[in-house]
Amino acid sequence: MRLGHSAPAVLEVGPVVVRLLSGPQADAVPSAVADAALLGIDDTVVLVEDRPAGVEDLWASLIAGAVGRRRESVVIVHPSRWPPARIARVCTAAGGITPRVTAVSRREWLLRHAGADVVVEIDSEFMTVSDRRSSTMVSRRDPAVSDAVVDAVLPLRARDATVPVAIDAPHEADAALARELGDALRDRGLSSRRVGVEPSPRPSPLSRLAARRPPRVLIGSVALVPVAVAALIRLGGGPAAPAAPADRPLGADEGPPVVHIVEGRVVVEVPASWSVARVTGGPGSRRVQVTAPDDPHLALHITQSFAPGGTLAEAAESLRRAIGAQPPGVFVDVRPEDQVAGRRAVTYREMRPGRVIRWSVMLEGSTRISVGCESRPGAEAGIRAACEAAVRSARELRETGAQGNGSSERVSGTESGR
């Protein structure tokens, strides 16, 4: 037996609105309900017009009101940097009205439907440059953020400079930054246009794929190939390879999806599905923390400091002095000459209750880069691949214009400590 509507419903969910993009129009989503659901998506109870409501029930009723209660399939278009738990909450709510739910990031939707092959997404912390194969995240705290984004765009536009770069700034508060980026692109000979997630004139290939799937919730990339290991910012590499076809099956001759984080003076490769946060308070260095979606004890910590003319021997001696001022047994096994992922590094371990962080300290140009790899004691295998990829890929950006402190600073040589 078929469900009431054969056409798939495509629903934009966040970061600003919840609205139907395709399929027969159902009841409109009241803005107060949508705002409460989006603001409270990580909670269990939220206030809706001064009354408490369960978040799971709220999302279920919101989606049913938006798309109707009898639907063959639903496609959820969600913010690209949403963590898996948020996506799962929305997909589970949609699963109450249809057996087939597909989650698609804004990045995937825009690359397929906005007539663009390069998209720049602006959110509260990062500007993310993506094509069909790879992504680079640039910190908004970078004093030259627009120039850094242009530097990330240029290697991609070399393939076809005639197609405008798509700029996705869903929050009106970011309109000025979007204009600034457009001006910076124009100064480098590139055109751009501001885009959003707009209704599609015909069913999306993503929707058709979802309709053919067995009844289950699909979370993540569905029709587009995952982000490949090729870096967007070329540091001594050759030209980028042609993009893979959009309908290439997931996992076909590809490594795990990755993104490249640009923070201050450095770029580092991290898993695409891991959440990225900036740690600025508490003990230890200011740092970027990248955490696995299914285990908070698997994480990468990335710090940097300006060290022109420094040597590894000097870095090792500085660490020895700093560690000597700390409680015994916290920082151990300092090795002034070590090899990690084929790179020379000073290494040591940071021992904390229930976890251990293995640090690799490298010199790259005028920057000291530290990568910490966190896991539970005895479970280092779970972080090894991501750790080695981060250490191997960590590079100084010499032409982004970032100077001074950048973002992450070394404090007394101790690189972490949450």
User: Mind listing the pLDDT tens digit for each residue in 243-291?
Assistant: 233 333 333 334 567 888 888 889 999 998 888 888 876 656 678 999 9
User: Is 102 within a domain?
Assistant: yes
- Quote the strand ranges of 283-391, DSSP E: 287-292, 295-306, 331-340, 343-352, 355-364, 367-375
List, for residues 35-87, the tens digit of each pLDDT value. 999 999 989 888 888 888 899 999 999 998 888 776 788 999 999 888 888 89
Same domain, 58 and 22: yes
The residue segments making up the domain with residue 35 are: 9-109+198-218
Instruction: Concatenate the DSSP letters of all residues of 151-178 into one string.
Output: HHHHHHHTT-TTSPEEEE--SGGGHHHH
Q: What is the CATH number of the domain that holds 164?
A: 3.30.420
- 27 close to 67: Cβ distance less than 8 angstroms: no
On whether both 254 and 305 belong to a single domain, the answer is: no
168: in domain: yes
Is 410 domain-assigned?
Answer: no
Residues 130 and 270 in one domain: no
Contacts of 408 (CB under 8 A, 6+ apart): 263, 264, 285, 286, 287, 288, 302, 303, 304, 305
> H-type helices in 299-351, by residue range?
312-324
CA distances from 139 to 174, 184, 227, 260, 367 (A): 14, 16, 19, 11, 17
Average pLDDT, integer, range 328-340: 91
Domain count, the chain: 3
Q: Is residue 48 helix, strand or coil?
A: strand
- Alpha carbon 235 to its chain centroid, in Å, reads 21
Using the structure block, give the residue that is written with the tokens 């490249």: 260
| Residue 116 · residue 159 · CB < 8 Å | no
417 inside domain? no
Say which CATH number the domain at 345 has: 3.40.1000.10
**350 and 375 share a domain?**
yes
pLDDT of residue 394: 95
**Together in a domain, 203 and 145:** no
Distances (CA, A) of 244 to 119, 398, 418: 17, 30, 41
In a shared domain, residues 191 and 80: no
In a domain, 175, yes or no: yes
Q: What is the DSSP letter of 246?
A: T
The Cα–Cα gap between 350 and 303 comes to 15
Structure tokens of 52? 């408490």
Examine the domain organization and report whether 74 and 28 are in the same domain: yes
Give the model's pLDDT for residue 363. Answer: 93
* Co-location of 67 and 205 in the same domain: yes
Are both 134 and 245 inside the same structural domain? yes
282 and 343 share a domain? yes
Whether residue 340 lies inside any domain: the answer is yes
Query: Taking a C-beta distance cutoff of 8 angstroms, is the pair 357, 303 a contact?
Result: no
pLDDT tens, position by position, 167-224: 999 998 999 999 999 999 999 999 999 998 876 544 443 333 333 333 233 333 222 2
Asked whether residue 80 falls in the same domain as residue 166, the answer is: no
> In this structure, is residue 402 part of a structural domain?
no
Residues in the chain: 418
Is there a domain that residue 29 lies in? yes
Taking the CA of residue 369 as centre, how many other CA atoms within 13 Å lie in the half-sphere pointing to its CB? 26
Q: Are residues 242 and 300 in the same domain?
A: no
